[in-house]
Amino acid sequence: MNDLPYPYLLYQWIWKAVDWIFPPVCGGCSILGTRWCDQCQQSLQRIRGQLCSRCGMPMGTNTVCNHCHERPFVIDGLRAYACYAGPLRNAIHRLKYQRDIALGETLAGFLVELYREVQWEIDLVVAVPLGVVRRRERGYNQAALIAYPLSLAIRVPYGRGALQRVRETASQVDLSFLQRLENVKDAFWADAPKVAGRNVLVIDDVTTTGATINACAEALKKAGANTVYGFVVARTILSEGGRNDRAS
Ligand SMILES: [Zn+2]
Ligand SMILES: [Zn+2]
């Protein structure tokens, strides 16, 4: 842990100070005294091994999944830390809907671990943006609360405003894979001077098919980004052709 850069340690320290004043509960199981307990850590189902080489969906083989055969992704790689289930699902829910914003830093720690595993070359970190209306309702972007501490930890600049949502999109729940791609098509815009020639890592809290983060990759590449990768904390694991879930 001693190789972590000073700004990240400072950021962690600020949240530790907040925890000291307001004792936290575990984001996964609500036990008092920690933001993430050992038991919840052990419950994580990491997503590793044989993955679709495009979208990162777990596969029995190292090939391309059926979705990516149907319509190839633009994103150069997408990885999820763990399955969207159990305590991790609770924690993401608390961060997103219950204003437990300190969990952003906790979840960022998982992506620091993932970053060390994949060893992608990254120059810029951005978060999947919310639309203006949803941002105003929620008061914060949960993906940014994960992306910013990650950028500090891996010493890569954070691209504030580099990626924006230019139209609100309907909920992706109950949409098929192709409907999801249509739903988020052209929903994002990237600022060319900030992203051109860069290797960008896009961060989101959760994904199902990767359609949203792929739409971000399309906007970034249209603005001249060199390569675009994606990290999500959790992924809903669907059977091939499955469609019902609560992630976006
Ligand atoms: Zn717990
Ligand atoms: Zn795939």
The DSSP code sequence of 145-196 is HHHHHHHHHTT--B-TTSEEE-S-----TT--HHHHHHHHTT-EEE-HHHHT
For residue 207, name the pLDDT band (cuts at 50, 70, 90): very high
Whether pLDDT at 59 is above 90: no
Among the listed residues 25, 28, 73, 21, the one whose alpha carbon sits nearest the alpha carbon of residue 51: 73
Q: How far is the C-alpha of 187 from the C-alpha of 85, rounded, in Å? A: 28
pLDDT at residue 39 greater than cutoff 90: yes
* Residue 238 pLDDT: 67
* CA gap 102, 153 in Å, rounded: 16
Mean pLDDT, residues 209-235 taken together: 96
Between the CA of 236 and the centroid of ligand 2 the distance, in Å, is 14
Which pairs from 55-63 meet CB under 8 Å and 24+ separation?
A: 55/209, 55/210, 55/214, 56/80, 56/210, 56/235, 57/210, 57/235, 57/237, 58/237
Residues 6+ apart with CB under 8 A from 196: 223, 224, 225
Query: What confidence score (pLDDT) does residue 247 get?
Result: 42
Helix (H, G, I), strand (E, B) or coil at 234: strand
Q: How far apart are the first and last CA of the chain?
A: 33
Q: Which fold has domain 6-235?
A: Rossmann fold (3.40.50)
pLDDT score of 2: 56
Per mean pLDDT, which range of 70-74, 162-166, 231-235 is the poorest? 70-74
Average pLDDT, the chain: 90
CA–centroid distance, residue 224 to ligand 1 (Å)? 42
182: CA distance to ligand 1 center in Å?
Answer: 38
Confidence of residue 239 (pLDDT cuts 50, 70, 90): low
Residues 6+ apart with CB under 8 A from 148: 11, 104, 108, 125, 127, 158
The neighbourhood of ligand 2, an ion, using CB within 5 A, equals 52, 54-55, 57, 65, 68
Q: H or E stretch including 115?
A: helix 103-118
* 38 in Cβ contact with 29 (< 8 Å): no
Q: What is the mean pLDDT of residues 158-178?
A: 89
Ligand nearest to the CA of 24: 1
Task: Judge whether residue 176 has pLDDT over 70.
Answer: yes
Please give the pLDDT value at position 68: 82
Q: Is the pLDDT of residue 248 over 70?
A: no
> Ligand 2 mean position to 140 CA, how many Å?
30
As given in the structure block, the two tokens for residue 91 are: 């924690």
Identify the nearest ligand to the CA of 59 by its number: 2
Is 26 in contact with 40 (CB distance < 8 Å)?
Answer: yes
Q: Which pair of tokens denotes residue 233?
A: 């904390």
User: Does residue 1 or residue 189 have the better pLDDT?
Assistant: 189
Ligand that comes closest to the CA of residue 42? 1
Core vs surface per residue 148-174: b (16+ CB within 10 A) or e: bbbbbbbebebbeebbbbeeebeebee
* Residues comprising the chain, all counted: 248
